[in-house]
Amino acid sequence: MTTATEATPRSEDLYPSRGLPEPRLAPRKDPVVHGSVEDGPLDVVHLRRYEQNGFLTFEGMFDDDEVARYLAELQRLRGDEALADRPETITEPESGQVRSIFAVHRQSELMERLCRDRGVVEIARQLLGGDVYFHQTRVNYKSGFRGKEFYWHSDFETWHQEDGMPRMRAVSCSISLTDNSPHNGPLLLIPGSHQEFLACVGETPENHYQKSLQKQEYGVPDDESLAAMVEKGGIEAATGKAGSVTFFECNVMHGSNSNITPWPRSNCFIVFNSVENAVVDPYCGLEPRPGFIAERDDFSPVEIA
């Protein structure tokens, strides 16, 4: 195990946010792509598209048999009474249905293999320019009829403020285990929004994660800034058949609508962070979120399954 103190010393806060009198947009201070064509499977077209838009979607990275196995495991985990009352299991605020299960690579050997899939890990390494570790893993269920929205946000703003992630050198990977259609609350992204950092207003409450995992109220964009981002970049939905995969940059503005259709939208969600970007003390000045939300002890490189 590698401790945060050993991995990354405290550095200047390059992306101050919250506690400000008004929101503020500032250019990012980190590269978007840290690797090169020689470092992995993505060609120059993919790397340029990721740098420009902040995300990439690939159809058919997992075949029907693989998807069926992983989806069956998601349903097993959802019904596991031993997990029901654990803090890693987050329920919907009104219906009580399971919304997310965190640290899923520690809850299931099968899901751990998915998180360590060669194709997924090699792309993450290429985008981040070297070895990566799991900052966070989870499954999102978004049930049919009553699966609630995830409001617009930049993951990095939260990870920086509440987890102490120093720089923009992380990538999220969303693996679709059900079809993601325009109707069942797919991931929505604002192309190009990752090129600017939006500093948000409002002081972070203690133990904010206990409510924010159900409904986020701090670290969310103001209407005017969000409208300006959409006017500039538009909105794209990451739709695709089960087995598709979307990689999106840690600072890209994204969210998703509620799911009022009968069709659930279940995804496995993996956050890879560079081992050179391990978390330090949170920049908001509060105690860090629990390790099942943001890894603080084990920064060892992910090994391919």
Q: What is the predicted pLDDT for the residue at 210?
A: 47
Q: What is the pLDDT of residue 180?
A: 93
Contact 163, 204 (CB under 8 A): no
DSSP 32: S
DSSP label at 63? -
pLDDT score for 214: 41
Low-confidence residues of the chain: pLDDT under 50: 1-7, 209-210, 212-215
- Rg over alpha carbons for the chain, rounded to the nearest Å, is 18
The pLDDT score that the predictor gives to residue 244 is: 98
The gap between the terminal CA atoms of the chain, to the nearest Å, is 19
Identify the pLDDT of residue 92.
Answer: 75
pLDDT confidence of residue 259: 80
- In the numeric block, which tokens belong to residue 112? 């751990």
144-175 per-position pLDDT tens digit? 777 777 789 999 999 999 999 999 999 999 99
Domains of the chain: 16-171+187-236+248-277 (2.60.120.620)
144 in helix, strand or coil?
A: coil
CB 149 within 8 A of CB 226: no
Q: Are strands 187-189 and 253-256 parallel, antiparallel or unpaired?
A: antiparallel
pLDDT of residue 207: 57
DSSP state letter for 163: I
**What pLDDT does residue 19 have?**
77
pTM: 0.91
